[in-house]
Amino acid sequence: MAKLLRARIPAVRIVLAGAGVLVLLSLPAPLAGQSAASVSNVAEADLLSLPEAPIPVQSSTSESSSPEASSAGDQTPTPQTPTSNPSQAAQPQPAPPSLGDLGLSPSQTKPDPDLQARLDRHTRMLRIHQRLGLITLAPLAGACITSAFAPPDLKKGKDNATGRDIHLGLGAASVTMYAFTASYAIRAPRVSDQPARGGIKLHKYLIWVHGPGMILTPILGAMAYDQANNGEKVHGIASAHAAVAWTTVAAYGAAIVAVSWPIHVASWKL
Amino acid sequence: MKTTLLCALLLLALPLRARPDQSQTDQSQPDQSWSLGQSTLTYHMSHPIHEVDGVSHAARGKGVCHAGQCDFLVAAPVKSFDSGDSNRDLHMLQTTRGAEFPVVTVRFRLPQSTLNQPTLDCDLEIQFAGTTAHYPHVAFHQTIEGPAHHITGVIPSTLTDFKIAAPTFLTVPIKNEIPVRVDMTWSPS
């Protein structure tokens, strides 16, 4: 009998070990894949057989769900105690963030219809300014081309009166168009007190070159016109007419390019 | 030998017991709030003779996480975008009705469990120029360094999405596509 028992001891040990493993594996079964509801049921079921604990003044769940509790360093997930308390379920949810939470100043968020109206007028007038400025290029180019036929050819004895008149007409048209173009930029309402930045800055600086040039050129042109019509060689300050005119045209062209700068055409970049 | 086998079995059984606690952590995320630190928003405008980038560093943002969902809001004053040319910026402000609607806002919602992923798939709701447009599944790339979440991506916005008439230069209109490049750093607050 004793021999038989000794022979079966290892088998009994293996059976007991297996049973122990099964118990260990089966213990967490109610917790695996738990939902909030199932957790509360399990918790309640466990609590039924336990004596009542002292009731805390404030539950840990309500502390962890308050917005103040989630501080900057609070990145580690805090375990939430399962509960079936209806007062905790009715806690207000934190509202989604609004503009007021971002700290933007009222001046940044307040609509300004007056400013919008001024911006609309500003843009409308500058659009006309831009179109007139481009149209002005046509008589200006014509005046430059016909300038070759304006002075009398004293060597050949040609007066060139017709060429001079055409040049005069194109020059006058250029100055008139220029005046209209400038008036739209001057009369456009101011919408910002900030200093100009970018290409518009050079565009504005160049006004100080082509603006006086557009006043001086016709004055000098009129003097030269009179001298030529009298059969004289253009002399004195009137002889500066061509130089002033070409400087004015160059500044005017540069002003158009400046406001368009930088220019990209397809794959190449200026 | 059998004792060793028994110990091995017990050790194997321990992780199985610990796993339910981890699944409980994933299910119930703590409330959390996020704030936007540094940000760079860049719109790109194309014209046959112009390529322009307008940059704003003035965006503000906040995120609130509750019950596993996070709501985010980002806002930037329209006039804070700087293209390097004050005249162009004023024109942009006028075209987008930036005085009437001075702030561009972006809202999106993300599951809290996805906040640490390298790619964030966002459904964006953008209010701009008095119009709301939706951009589903916009991908943002995320790199995390300590508490800072660095996010980059491109919003494929267009002028027609916001009913904006295309401005013209030398009578030629700009391209309809105005992609906005996003580069921002969020951190928990």
Q: Comparing C-alpha atoms, which of B131, B126, B46, B56 is closest to residue B89? A: B56
Q: How far is B63 from chain A (nearest CA, A)?
A: 7
B52 contacts: CB under 8 Å, gap ≥ 6 = B44, B45, B46, B83, B84, B85, B88
**pLDDT tens string B62-108:** 999 999 999 999 999 999 999 999 999 999 999 999 999 999 999 99
- How far does Cα A198 stand from its chain's mean position? 15
Which CA distances in Å does B72 have to A97, A107, A129, B14, B109?
7, 23, 44, 40, 6
pLDDT tens, chain A, 270 aa long: 455 556 566 665 666 666 555 545 444 433 333 333 333 333 333 434 444 444 443 333 333 333 333 333 333 333 333 333 444 445 567 788 888 888 888 888 899 999 999 999 999 999 999 999 999 999 999 999 999 888 887 677 777 889 999 999 999 999 999 999 999 999 999 988 888 898 999 999 999 999 999 999 999 999 999 998 888 888 999 999 999 999 999 999 999 999 888 787 654 555
CB contact under 8 A, B169 and A14: no
Q: How far is B73 from chain A (nearest CA, A)?
A: 6
Name residue, tokens 């360094």. Answer: B145
Q: Taking CB atoms and an 8 Å cutoff, what residues of chain B touch A34? A: 20, 23-24, 27
CB contact under 8 A, B73 and A102: yes
CA–CA dist A61, A39 (Å, integer): 14
Nearest by CB to A21, from B9, B99, B100: name it: B9
pLDDT above 70 coverage of chain A, percent: 63
Rg of chain B over Cα atoms, rounded to whole angstroms, equals: 23
CA–CA dist A30, A39 (Å, integer): 9
How does B95-105 read in b/e, with b if 16+ C-beta sit within 10 Å? bbbbbbbbbbb
CB contact under 8 A, B50 and A32: no
The structure tokens listed for A90 are: 């009715």
Calculated CA dihedral for residues A249, A254, A260, A266, nearest 10 degrees: 100
Q: Which range (A33-47, A178-192, B32-46, B141-155) has the least confidence?
A: A33-47
Helix (H, G, I), strand (E, B) or coil at B133: strand
Q: Specify the amino acid at residue B37.
A: G
Q: How far is A117 from chain B (nearest CA, A)?
A: 9
**pLDDT tens string A38-78:** 333 333 334 344 444 444 433 333 333 333 333 333 333 33
CB contact under 8 A, A75 and B188: yes
- How far does Cα B177 stand from its chain's mean position? 19
User: For residues A53 and B36, which has the higher predicted lDDT (pLDDT)?
Assistant: B36
Q: How far is A148 from chain B (nearest CA, A)?
A: 30
pTM across the whole model? 0.69
CB contact under 8 A, B20 and A134: no
pLDDT of residue A151: 82
To test the contact with chain B by mutation, choose from A26, A75, A102 the residue with the greatest count of B C-beta atoms within 10 A, namely A102
Name residue, tokens 């557009």. Answer: A214
HEC states along A62-83?
A: HHHHCHHHCCCCCCCCCCCCCC
Q: Please say if the pLDDT value at position B10 is more than 70.
A: no
CB contact under 8 A, A265 and B29: no
Q: Taking CB atoms and an 8 Å cutoff, what residues of chain A touch B72? A: 97
State the pLDDT confidence band at B29, using cuts at 50, 70 and 90.
confident
Q: Is B44 in CB contact (< 8 Å) with chain A? A: no
Contact A41, B28 (CB under 8 A): no
